[in-house]
Amino acid sequence: MSKLTAIATLSAASLLVLVGCSTNRHNAPADPIDITKEQGDVPKRVWLDQGWSEKVREDFWFTGQGSQIIPYTWFVWLEQADNEQLFRHADHMEFLRYLPSKASELNPGGLPIGFALHSNQKTGENWVGMTCAACHTSQIDYKGTKMLIEGAPTLANFVLFFDRLVAALNKTLNDDAKFNRFALNVLGSKYSDSSKASLKQRLQQVALQTAQRQAVNALPEDYPQDFTSYARLDAFGNIQNAGTAFALNDLTNKNTPTGPVSYPFLWGTHQSDVVQWNASAPNTPIVGPLVRNIGEVVGVFGELQIEEAPFWQRVWGKKFRYSSTVDMIGLGNLESWVKTLRSPQWPLEHLPAIDTQKAAKGELLYKQACASCHQLIPREKEHLNYIANQTLVSELGTDPVTANNASCHMAKTLILEGTKERILIGSKFQAIDNAIDVPVNGVVGLVLKDLPTALKAGNIPERTGTDGQKISVVKELENLIVQHLKARGKRADAVETDCVDGVLDGAVYKGRPLNGIWATAPYLHNGSVPNLYELMKKPEQRVTEFWVGSREFDPVNVGYVTTQGLNKFRVNASDGKIMPGNSNLGHSYGTEFSDEEKWQIIEFMKTL
């Protein structure tokens, strides 16, 4: 018996009682689907060399990870709420700052980059869901040239996208003419009075589910409607609610997502020892990336359910059933491509040349003021692992809401009360406990219930070298899961007192190498600083309002043009005080330099 088989067999036997034997594997054959041409014009773009072939690029864009928003053909034919133009039309997607793409075998509905097809494991029905590329691909425009940056933070407005989706579904349900057009296209040759009636009944069900998600994740009434807006999202808040409100089936068991962050760039993610802005997730080999990615899918329509096991299963010790639409093999493939992704180099063929004399002087200043937190990694060594810097939020001085919400939001644990938080280890759930521990429990449950698939998925990126070739790596999985959970628990315990006394002497934000930083505006974890020049200013002198949503690049200040856009980011609330979650203060490192020296550092950062 091979080591791989032995591990899987022993692990499955030892964990059978805990989580049962059901799996996430594909059982039902996928429904056939036709290619439907994209709607509207897809812009011509140029690509930078980031280590990916054209095939890998498209695979990354459209490999599903198990996310299910609405049935695929519904999304293809759904109209916008206030007109007859299709929801997926390039103009509409561009307004929302998603990236229109041409129809292909991998993108049969002509959907934007990152909107992937997922065939439900139990039914074979095709659904549309978001994959990594929806939030981690960007387009930078400069004087008519459109540069696609793989792994860069999107400018998309997810909240507006979802609000408009909910409105479109509701309008289709209640407008007879709109529904008739929808039904004719969705049902095709199967159209009949009976099938039309069944479709409407199901549409009502799905529209209600999406409206429930919208309601659960709604902001407090005293928050501005555009608080989250373009280029940022409270992913932690969505993941927490996916566990506490939806997986535990109590929609009142929620927290408001008031800590939006800028989407992190992906290059270097696989190589870091920790991930997430607050360094809360250890990147333990095999297990770390898989758990991190499953958690991400849970937050974007991964349909996590934690249910009490049936009586006949509880008799022999099984307490819960964990289920989800997460595609672990898809996640393994996506992580393998992220592992080989390289940072984008300042493109001299498209942007103004770098002043090398300035940059040389800036390098010395960077090493003096910046490198202790943002280490310098030569481009040829980007494939090597590194240890990320972790700085106390109290020392950094940046907005604390994200760190506080991630660690201190509480929720009812309901059926999980009295069981181990992390299934294998950890203290027992109290009646009310840390909200984030509920989806973490769910993610661990999904991994443990199908160890053979988890091991296979986790090993996919481990067998991918920098040349894209497979290398043999087989490690014992259950011990790695325990190792990962202990490390995560240690980080969580370090900030536990912060939640009690309100003093941020345990919470941290992560500082990572700044390779490719020129392509990742806006800056700071919450996207509150528009460009590198503003970041180099003393915090109290930084702009407190700027336009977001423009793709036009500013190569001098290094960021997007802020004199035009789709929405205004405002640091301050209407009363003139800083809006919690929007502070642009802190990170004062290097701000004491002269203007000349600051410009030298900025010029150097263009070279990274």
Residue 233, φ and ψ in degrees, nearest 5: -160, 145
Reply yes or no on whether the pLDDT at 474 is more than 60.
Answer: no
Structure tokens at 459: 């090993």
pLDDT digits (tens, 9 = 90+) for 83-106: 999 999 999 999 999 999 999 999
Q: How far apart are the first and last CA of the chain?
A: 48
Furthest CA-CA distance within the chain: 75
Q: Per residue in 38-82, pLDDT tens?
A: 999 999 999 999 999 999 999 999 999 999 999 999 999 999 999
Mean pLDDT of 379-399: 94
Read off the pLDDT of each residue in 418-422 and give the average, rounded to a whole number: 88
Which pLDDT does position 472 carry in this prediction? 39
Please give the pLDDT value at position 380: 94
Report CA 489 to chain centroid distance, whole Å.
Answer: 22
| pLDDT tens per residue, range 243-276 | 999 999 999 999 999 999 999 999 999 999 988 8
Give the pLDDT confidence score for residue 3 in this predicted structure: 36
Residues 6+ apart with CB under 8 A from 349: none
DSSP-derived pairing of the beta strands 46-47 and 145-150 = parallel
CA within 13 Å, CB half, 408: 20
Q: What is the mean pLDDT of the chain?
A: 90
The 8 Å CB, 24+ separation contacts for 81-89 are 81/164, 81/167, 81/168, 81/170, 81/171, 82/171, 84/178, 84/181, 85/39, 86/39, 87/164, 87/165, 87/168, 88/38, 88/39, 88/112, 88/115, 89/39, 89/40
In the beta sheet, which residues pair with residue 46? 147
* pLDDT of 506: 79
DSSP code, position 245 = I
Element (H, E) at 145: strand 145-150
Residue spans of alpha helices (H) in 370-436? 393-396, 401-408
Radius of gyration of the chain (CA): 24
The better pLDDT of the pair 488, 604 is held by 604
d(CA 159, CA 232) in angstroms, rounded, equals: 9
pLDDT at 10: 37
3-class DSSP assignment, residue 19: helix
Average pLDDT, integer, range 266-293: 88
Distance between CA atoms of residues 387 and 364, nearest Å? 22
Q: For residue 117, which of 105, 103, 129, 100 has the smallest C-alpha distance?
A: 129
Q: What percent of the chain has pLDDT over 90?
A: 77
pLDDT tens-digit map of 540-598: 999 999 999 999 999 999 999 999 999 999 999 999 999 999 999 999 999 999 999 99
Six token digits for residue 87: 């929801």
Nearest to 405 by CA among 555, 584, 241, 528: 241
Comparing CA positions, the residue from 451, 455, 442, 440 lying closest to residue 487 is 440
Structure tokens belonging to residue 189: 């040759």
pLDDT in tens, 168-213: 999 999 999 999 999 999 999 999 999 999 999 999 999 999 999 9
Average pLDDT over residues 365-386: 95
Please, is 471 exposed, middle or buried when counting C-beta atoms within 10 Å of its C-beta (0-12, 13-18, 19+)?
Answer: exposed
Tens digits of per-residue pLDDT, 304-352? 999 998 877 776 777 889 999 999 999 999 999 999 999 999 999 999 9
Q: Could you tell me the pLDDT band of residue 477, with boundaries at 50, 70 and 90? A: low
DSSP assignments along 529-591, one per residue: B-BHHHHHS-GGGS-SEEEE---BEETTTTEE--SS-SEEEESB-TTSSBPTT-------TTT
Where b means 16+ CB within 10 Å and e means fewer, 394-429 reads eebbbbbbbbbbbbbbbbbbbbbeebbbbbbebeeb
Q: Work out the average pLDDT over 391-415.
A: 94
Task: Out of 440-444, 474-478, 567-571, give the one with best mean pLDDT.
Answer: 567-571
- List the one residue out of 507, 508, 521 whose CA is nearest residue 569: 521
